[in-house]
Chains A and B, each alone.
Chain A
Amino acid sequence: MNVKGFLVNIFDFLKRTWQGRFLLVVFFLVISAPLWMNESPLLRYDKGDISFPFLSSEKYGESNSLSTDGWEVNALLMYSPNSVDPLNDGFVGPFDQQYQLSETGERERISIRKRHWLGTNLRGNDLLADVIYGTRNSMIIALSGACLSLVFAAVLGFVGGWYFQTGIKTNIARLLLSVVAFVWILFIQENILIYSDRLIALIGLLIFILPLNWLLTRVEVRFLQSNIAIRIDDIIGLISGLLLSLPRLVILLAIMQLLKPSLLSMIILLGFTGWIELSRLIRSEIIRLKSNSFLDAAVMSGVKGQRLMLKHVLPNVWPSIVVLFIYTISGNTNIESILSFMGMGLPPDVPSLGRTIGSGKFDYEVWWIFFLPGLWLSMILYCFFKVAESYRKQLNG
């Protein structure tokens, strides 16, 4: 499958509607946010050497004062999510008077580049920075989580659909070997405590399994050679039915503390819980495709394995996946914001739209703290929704 052509296609499709254009602009702005919204300068020249402070993770403080011949290039907006502005703390609104310190140390009206466009919160953090970086995190989480789910769903859906009603044909020897391997891996997980020993145990498993596999497929024992079919589709159906019967929010609340809260753990948890609808769709598409004669023709003419999947099956399944994939992204954005809103999602030092909304939920006087991020989030979700809808309409003709 032509990946470049596919990306160009998606880009062209997104350009067609204003919602798609909005999403594209938001995506590129938000991904490049450290370049235009940063408290540390982008480029700094001091005492003969040049440095790029925005690349380092440590906070850029007041102590780094410049010498007389030094200069620095600042970002367009000079706030980061956790930067504190002591002059404008205690809920300064977007239309209120804001102040800055002049050269002589007096309070004066704030200049246009230092203005808090969306106001500040109690501690004097810039709300715009919170919103931009929160959107960045939620986009990263939603996209990667959806990609992870797609990988799962593709594997499970392909297997389930391809071996629908027939099952994977294997013999008892192979089944026994895989059971042994599984038990050995469980043993390693439980009882081998040191990482170097675990590596040895895994290598030992390979050394043990490969010759045994070779031996068992060649030695004529009728019991071991007898064929059985594993109804893999039923097993996958049972698991996905189970995950479908529990609300996703309840599962996520229960397993949220399995991993330490971070961006990566959020991606993994969302990816592990969001594959069910996708895999069901892929499975039904594959079952529908399998009755078409062009696949039989491809199999008869000797196309096998990877090439069959990538060249003949995937291009036919892909369009209907894309719609659900977009819904998965918007669903991930939604559920991430819900979890952060409830205080169970991202850790407190990572900005998130949900927590920003949650921090102002009962302060009616400071409307900007819950209203503006919520409006922005709804806008993004609306655009995802409309893009998916127009894609679906285009598919249906």
Chain B
Amino acid sequence: MGRTLGAFCVLLIFVFTISRLLPGDPVERILFSQSKGGQGRLTDLTLRREKIYKELGLHLPDFYLAIGSLAIPDSFSRIQDVKLREAVVYTSYWSGDPARSFFLCTRLKQLSRLPLNITVASEDGNCKEIFSDAVLRSDDSALKKFWAELLISSEENGWRKWVPVFTVNSDNKFHRWIFGHPDTDTRYALSSDGVLLGDLGFSWSRGRQVSSLLKFPFLLSMLLAIGTIIVCAPLSLLSGAFLTLKKNSRWVRVGHVLSVLVYSMPMFWVAVLLLYFLASPLFLNLLPSSAPVLTTDGSVADWLLSIVYQWRNFVIPFVAMACTTYIYHSQFVYEMLLEETAKPYVVTLRAKGLSESQILFSRALKNITVPYIISLLNLFPALISGSIIMDYLFTLNGMGTIIIQACDVRDFPVIAGVLLIVGGFTILIYPLTDVLVALIDPRLKNTAEK
């Protein structure tokens, strides 16, 4: 129990870090993805950028503890314009005077004389020349006076960049994501209850609740994965036992080579081959190759019904996912049974006069159930991967499409939501495995409880 909780905590921090590390400005990408066709007016764009910036809470620091320096205080993260923020940060880093740097840069921006190549130039440390050039070319006398003051103060304040400043923030992005925040400003109806209470937040690019956005994709992935496990478990058990019974037959050996060949094929290629042979006009035109249309605005029952009506669209993805699992596990059962039948108790059973099939089905299979179930459930992450590939290939509107689009527009709540749901579900499966194993074999109860 404690282990599972610890795993959840680490998962939360990991997911947060991963999704925040992605480079690029989310606001720019969201604006770009929203403005289809016509270019908005400049003031309109600025207003919208400001609105999105405040809605997303991007002005907040990332974590409870932040490290800044005297030259770069963390209040700089409130500057919304990326270009302006970079200019201010680099100027302040060079001069060690945050307030004066901020005023200089904003004034230069008003005069639209802000140097654009500031980041590149500052890598070499010649920020000063670029700025003096920009200031001297302007006619603003106040600005020139201000620049002279900054030059003098920069000689005294050069040391300030070396001094770390630690700030503790009670209100930050991580806190809001975990515990939620009440919405005091009525303009932005974006309050959330936080991840801890199961509220994954609001999708930035699609403007919907993440949980409602991910509901059906997640159910689809679960359906494919759990369906694969349910179908493959008895089948592979039976065929493994059959292989053990007929292990000296030539056909079994040929079948073994073929199944290893199919097992080593990449899953997407198997699916493409199935499409070519079963769903193309060149060979058998049995199944449709088009994407299914699922009803995602109704209840789960409606959605399930729409899947049942269009079951022909799901045959190929399901078979492509299942055949890898099936082959792997029938080989697994085969090898385990070979080991099992070499044990002394099987010799005794044979001496007593039991037939091979009696030995296998009533004795040996019982003994391999526990490792078999563990291996099946450990396959769960791989099955989720498989469902994502199938989703991409057949446009099923599952987790795959969602996460690719979300990464493209840096839609942080959606990325975090996908990672959190998938990881959380898998973490929950491990204690489930323990319980299941303890139910099947009471001898293992003590080891499961540990």
Contacts and interface: CB of A to CB of B under 8 A. Distances in A.
A3 interface: no
A395 to B, nearest CB: 15
B10 interface: yes
B412 to A, nearest CB: 11
A22 B29 CA distance: 48
Interface stretch (B96-104, B257-265, B358-366): B257-265
Interface in B86-143: 89-90, 93, 122-125
Given A245-B381, A342-B404, A361-B393, A250 B419 contact: yes
Nearest to B9: A238
Given A250-B385, A255-B18, A337-B266, A194 B123 contact: yes
A193 B389 contact: no
A196 interface: yes
A193 to B, nearest CB: 5
Contact of B11 (A242, A247, A255, A330): A242
A255 B419 CA distance: 11
A257 B264 contact: no
A384 B264 contact: yes
Contacts of B46: none
A308 interface: no
A193 B123 CA distance: 7
B260 A385 contact: yes
Interface stretch (B34-42, B243-251, B421-429): B421-429
B264 A250 contact: no
B21 interface: yes
Interface string B267-290: 111001101100011100000010
Nearest to B124: A194
Contacts of A258: 21-23
B282 A365 contact: yes
B312 to A, nearest CB: 18
Interface string A211-233: 00000000000000000000000
B67 A190 contact: yes
B229 interface: no
A246 interface: yes
B419 A187 contact: no
B407 A245 contact: no
Contacts of A186: 67
A245 B427 contact: yes
A254 B124 CA distance: 33
Contact of A344 (B124, B267, B404, B426): B404
Contacts of A370: 269, 272, 276
Contacts of B24: 257
B304 to A, nearest CB: 24
A342 B11 contact: no
Contacts of A190: 67-68
Contacts of A248: 381, 385
A179 to B, nearest CB: 13
A183 B165 CA distance: 11
Interface string A358-395: 10011011010011001001100110111000000000
A369 to B, nearest CB: 11
Given A250-B385, A370-B272, A378-B264, A191 B67 contact: yes
A178 to B, nearest CB: 17
B161 interface: yes
A321 to B, nearest CB: 21
Interface in B365-401: 381-382, 384-385, 388-389, 392-393, 399-400
Contact of B265 (A196, A257, A378): A378
A159 B415 CA distance: 33
A195 interface: yes
A244 B385 CA distance: 13
Nearest to A246: B423
A187 B67 contact: yes
Contacts of A187: 67, 69, 164
Interface in B47-99: 67-69, 71-72, 89-90, 93
Contacts of B267: 338
B214 interface: no
B266 A374 contact: yes
A257 B392 contact: no
A371 to B, nearest CB: 8
B127 to A, nearest CB: 9
A381 B267 CA distance: 12
A334 B266 contact: yes
A334 B418 CA distance: 23
A50 interface: no
A239 interface: yes
Nearest to A344: B404
B341 interface: no
A361 B382 CA distance: 23
B389 A245 contact: no
A344 B11 CA distance: 24
B89 A385 contact: no
A385 B384 contact: no
Contacts of A377: 266, 269
B225 to A, nearest CB: 10
B125 A246 contact: no
Contacts of A385: 260, 263-264
A364 B19 CA distance: 39
A247 B381 contact: yes
B68 A247 contact: no
A253 to B, nearest CB: 5
Contacts of B403: 250, 253-254
Given A193-B89, A386-B260, A245 B11 contact: yes
Contacts of B90: 193
A334 B267 CA distance: 9
B14 interface: yes
Contact of A242 (B388, B389, B423): B423
A247 B266 contact: no
B250 to A, nearest CB: 19
Nearest to B24: A257
B272 A250 contact: no
B415 to A, nearest CB: 6
A267 to B, nearest CB: 19
Given A239-B10, A245-B423, A256-B407, 13 more contacts: A190-B67, A191-B72, A192-B161, A193-B90, A242-B11, A244-B381, A247-B388, A247-B426, A249-B389, A250-B422, A364-B282, A371-B273, A382-B260
20 contacts: A191-B67, A192-B161, A245-B11, A245-B381, A245-B423, A246-B426, A247-B388, A249-B388, A250-B422, A254-B407, A255-B22, A257-B23, A257-B24, A337-B266, A357-B272, A367-B276, A374-B269, A378-B265, A381-B265, A385-B263
Interface of A: 183-184, 186-187, 190-197, 201, 238-239, 241-242, 244-251, 253-258, 330, 334, 337-338, 341-342, 344, 354, 357-358, 361-362, 364-365, 367, 370-371, 374, 377-378, 381-382, 384-386
Interface of B: 6-7, 10-11, 14, 18-19, 21-24, 67-69, 71-72, 89-90, 93, 122-125, 161-162, 164, 260-261, 263-269, 272-273, 275-276, 280-282, 289, 381-382, 384-385, 388-389, 392-393, 399-400, 403-404, 407, 415, 418-419, 422-423, 426-427, 430
